[in-house]
Structures are given as structure tokens and as C-alpha cells.
């Protein structure tokens, strides 16, 4: 399984935490069969958020995005599984909830792009960078799930 397993970074944004959607979002990832290997509730610093969104620095909404993400607690998580990055992005839906299909997190739970409740890594490279930004290696728990054989061949 090691060769086909990957990890992704998922963050429930302040609006998702305030709306009490944390359990619903975790439930969706668990039901899909992915394994939670790290999680923390944190009030991210502006420095951390500026670094996290550095690729958007030149965009007009950058300052507002950092301010919004700093406005309340965030649930930062690392999920592991087969194709978890691509599948996780499909589960999230489009960045703009109006473009998201029913059944996706944003399609079911969001209205506006500025309050789209969740972030997910978009590539293996960004997942590795985001995981390393938000978590120390000691915070990542390596274990074998008892459901492993019921999820993977």
C-alpha cells in the first residue's frame, strides 16, 4: 500500500468551524475510507496564513483572505489514502459553491465563494508543502487502520 498511498492537507475554514460543520466534514472523509493521521484546532497566525496563501499574493483578494482566515479557529487535518488528493478535491467541489455539484461539501453546505468553508491541497507538491507548514513530523500519526482490508484489495 505504501506506493499508492498519499497524504493531503484539508483545512476547515473559520466559517465551517463557526457553522459547526466540522463533524459533518470529517464524517464524509471517514465514510469515503480515508484515514485521519493528524488534526488540530488552531487560531492560525497571520504569518502562517500569508505563507500558506503565498501563491495568491498578487491577487486582489489576498489581504482579505488572510484576514478572513485569521478571524477565527481553523481545523487543520491530514488525510491519507489512495488518490486522496484528487478524490478530496472532488469531494470538496468547485471553489465557487455556485459551480459545485450537489453531493459535494461546497455544493451541499455553501452559498458564496468568500465563505466556502474548506481548503484542500490541489497537488502532491502543495500537499507536502502545506502539511509541513501546518504540522511537525511528530504530529503525524502513522498507524494501520483495522478497516484497511475492507477498503483496499
Binding residues: 13, 61, 89, 95, 106, 116
Query: Which one from 43, 52, 70, 119 is the annotated catalytic residue?
Result: 119
What pairing do the DSSP bridges indicate for beta strands 35-42 and 118-120? unpaired
**Catalytic status, residue 52:** no
Report the distance separating Cα 12 and Cα 15, nearest Å.
8
Residues tagged in the binding site annotation for ATP: 13, 61, 89, 95, 106, 116
Helices (H), 19-72: 22-32, 46-52, 62-69
Report the distance separating Cα 149 and Cα 54, nearest Å.
39
Q: Where are the beta strands (DSSP E) in 13-134?
A: 35-42, 74-82, 118-120
Sequence-separated (6 or more) residues with CB below 8 Å from residue 94:
100, 104, 106
Bridge partners of 39, per DSSP, are 77
Which residues are catalytic, by number? 119
Amino acid at each position: 500500500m505504501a506506493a499508492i498511498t498519499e497524504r493531503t492537507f484539508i483545512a476547515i475554514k473559520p466559517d465551517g468551524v463557526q457553522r459547526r460543520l466540522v463533524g459533518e466534514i470529517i464524517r464524509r472523509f471517514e465514510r469515503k475510507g480515508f484515514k485521519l493521521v493528524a488534526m488540530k484546532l488552531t487560531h492560525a497566525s497571520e504569518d502562517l496564513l500569508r505563507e500558506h496563501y503565498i501563491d495568491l499574493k498578487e491577487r486582489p483578494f489576498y489581504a482579505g483572505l488572510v484576514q478572513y482566515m485569521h478571524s477565527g479557529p481553523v481545523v487543520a487535518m491530514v488525510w491519507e489514502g489512495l488518490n486522496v488528493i484528487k478524490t478530496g478535491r472532488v469531494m470538496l467541489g468547485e471553489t465557487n459553491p455556485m459551480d459545485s455539484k450537489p453531493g459535494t461539501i461546497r455544493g451541499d453546505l455553501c452559498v458564496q465563494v468568500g465563505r466556502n468553508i474548506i481548503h484542500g491541497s490541489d497537488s502532491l507538491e502543495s500537499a507536502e508543502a502545506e502539511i509541513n507548514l501546518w504540522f511537525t513530523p511528530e504530529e503525524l500519526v502513522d498507524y494501520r487502520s483495522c478497516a484497511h482490508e475492507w477498503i483496499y484489495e
